[in-house]
Amino acid sequence: MNFKQLLLNKRNLAVIVSAAVCVLLISAGIIAAIVLGSDKENLSSGSSLDEQVNATSNLSSSQGNSSGESSSTVDEQENATSIISSSQGNSSSGSSSTVQNRNLSEKPTITVAAQVANGICVIGGKCAKGTEYVTITGDKANTVTVKPFSAGENDCFIAQVKYSARTTLKITAKQKGKEPSEAAVSTMYHNNLEENYMLRGEYTPVIGKGSQMHFYSALLSYTLSSNSITSDMRTKAYENISDIVSQADSVGAETIFLIIPSSAQIYPETVPDGFNKTTGSSLYEAFNKIATDCGAKVIYPLETMKSHRNDGEGYQIYQHTDSHWSAYGAYWGTYDLFDYISKRFPAAKPRTLTEMGFYTTALYGGDALFNFPKYIGFEDSYNKGVASNTKIKELTTLFSLKTPTSTLSKIYNSNVGLYLTEDNASAATVNNPNGAGLPDALIMRDSFGKVSYDLMSDRFSTVYWGEFDNYNLPTEKIKMKQPDYVIYLYSERNLLKIMLNNSYASLLTLK
């Protein structure tokens, strides 16, 4: 082969190669155009987020790898971005935009978090108004679902949680018509405690179900049977109550024991695990027999109070965060008393709800919540800084008592909340200026008498109030006042104190 033939063959080869390259380039351009059109069509038809991301990648690849005769205009790029954003907003996939647009419940705020016993902690806080329930979970904890209570502008909750080791608790809230909230988080340490701080004494608060707090003594009065009372205690009780009735009889007065059922009796579904109602004769039944045998009238308004235990938001018989009956509870708790007295003194019939002028207001929590830090060891090193803020509010009832017969005393310390004041703790005589036709009474009382002080003073002509938590009957006062009734107003948790005439007598001795 000579040189000219060789050159000719090379030129033919170059032409062939060039032609092939041109075909490839034309094909690539056609394919790119098809892909671009297809991708734009997919974007506008509401494709999934993954398909949109792939389409965006194809768009960029096609534009970057094109033979370059032209690239997409700025308007086309902005239009494609707009379509992607719109499509993502309408997508049913788990995109970040979809998460942001979910109808989530409001996240709760934790204000109480502390270990109270080996393997038990307490979690409490605030949640949005209308929260149906709060759920507490943890990898080393039992799952707890708790119903909040109304606190006016928001709701509040408190619960005890069992856990086996250090754990991170996640607390979510669920409002009606919404998904559960994002989780509030609290890390709970697991320390070896020598005792259960909720069972330290009579007046230690125990966290029950449904965000209900109980005093330990209220739970004991619910669980202990009459068999817990020794024969010596029974003998002493007969002697003491017989003496009370005898002194009242000496001036023509009738003796009435108004025994207030405990929070556990009114709301038994809130009693925490481990406190089972006695199946035999109860402490109250033992007391009732002794007092009745001695000639006293015993009023135990359990059924009346239970029938009004859920009369509406704020109208509970017992507060969730206080060991006492509410003002509304005091009204129904004394209703049976005045219904009984009115058979002899018709003017003493119970006031109507309209006359009482009940209204609701939100106050900071009561004595159970107020005492909680003191009793569960917030001063201990492992709890320092963990739960110093127990500022939980509660919606409760007060009354204006729309009558000129009394000037209302201050029931609660507004600086603290539902915590009772000392305003009416001392012995005092209250004269009713509109007392015509009403009886006179001498009333011995525990702290439950503070809430009912004005309510009861309104239904008597003259009342001599014994000193708060004094169990010794003032003999000279009975002789001097000569009342129509000698009334003992005491909570069920103080039954043993009445029976033994001893303010230091404790149900803890009967365990």
- More confident call, 77 vs 493: 493
Look at residue 388 in the predicted model and tell me its pLDDT: 38
Look at residue 100 in the predicted model and tell me its pLDDT: 64
Mean pLDDT of 273-292: 93
Q: 29-43, 53-67, 496-510: which has the highest mean pLDDT? A: 496-510
Share of the chain above pLDDT 70, in %: 73
Look at residue 51 in the predicted model and tell me its pLDDT: 37
Dmax (CA) of the chain: 154
| pLDDT higher than 90, residue 152 | no
| pLDDT higher than 90, residue 3 | no
Calpha distance 329→234 (Å, rounded): 31
Cα–Cα distances in Å, from 117 out to 113, 163, 167, 197, 277?
A: 13, 10, 15, 6, 23
Look at residue 102 in the predicted model and tell me its pLDDT: 86
Query: In 250-322, which residue ranges form alpha helices assigned H by DSSP?
Result: 263-266, 283-293, 302-306
- More confident call, 101 vs 486: 486
Calpha distance 126→111 (Å, rounded): 7
Mean pLDDT of 130-138: 97
At 197, the pLDDT band (50, 70, 90 cuts) reads: confident
Look at residue 46 in the predicted model and tell me its pLDDT: 37
- More confident call, 484 vs 368: 484
The model's pLDDT over 429-442, given as tens digits with 9 standing for 90+, comes to 889 888 899 999 99
Q: Looking at the structure, give the CATH architecture of the domain made up of residues 109-194.
A: Sandwich (2.60)
What type of residue sits at position 426?
S
| pLDDT higher than 70, residue 422 | no
Domain-by-domain residue ranges, the chain?
Answer: 3-100, 109-194, 215-510
Answer yes or no: are the C-beta atoms of 417 and 393 closer than 8 Å: yes
Look at residue 383 in the predicted model and tell me its pLDDT: 38
Q: How many CA atoms lie within 13 A of 41 on its CB side?
A: 6
Calpha distance 99→88 (Å, rounded): 11
- Reduce the DSSP state of residue 47 to 3 states and report it: coil
Helix (H) or strand (E) run with residue 39 in it: helix 3-44
Look at residue 28 in the predicted model and tell me its pLDDT: 47
Q: 27-41, 65-79, 305-319: which has the highest mean pLDDT? A: 305-319
Q: What are phi and psi of 489, to 5 degrees?
A: -105, 105
Cα–Cα distances in Å, from 424 out to 100, 408, 447, 464, 497?
A: 55, 11, 10, 12, 21
Ranking 175-184, 369-378, 449-458 by mean pLDDT, the lowest is 369-378
- More confident call, 425 vs 230: 230
Look at residue 200 in the predicted model and tell me its pLDDT: 84
The model's pLDDT over 229-262, given as tens digits with 9 standing for 90+, comes to 999 999 999 999 999 999 999 999 999 999 999 9
Nearest to 296 by CA among 487, 118, 151, 41: 487
Quote the pTM value. Answer: 0.77
At 371, the pLDDT band (50, 70, 90 cuts) reads: confident
| pLDDT higher than 90, residue 405 | no
Write down the residue that tokens 């559960």 correspond to: 180
Look at residue 391 in the predicted model and tell me its pLDDT: 67
Query: In 91-185, which residue ranges form alpha helices assigned H by DSSP?
Result: 96-100
| pLDDT higher than 60, residue 386 | no
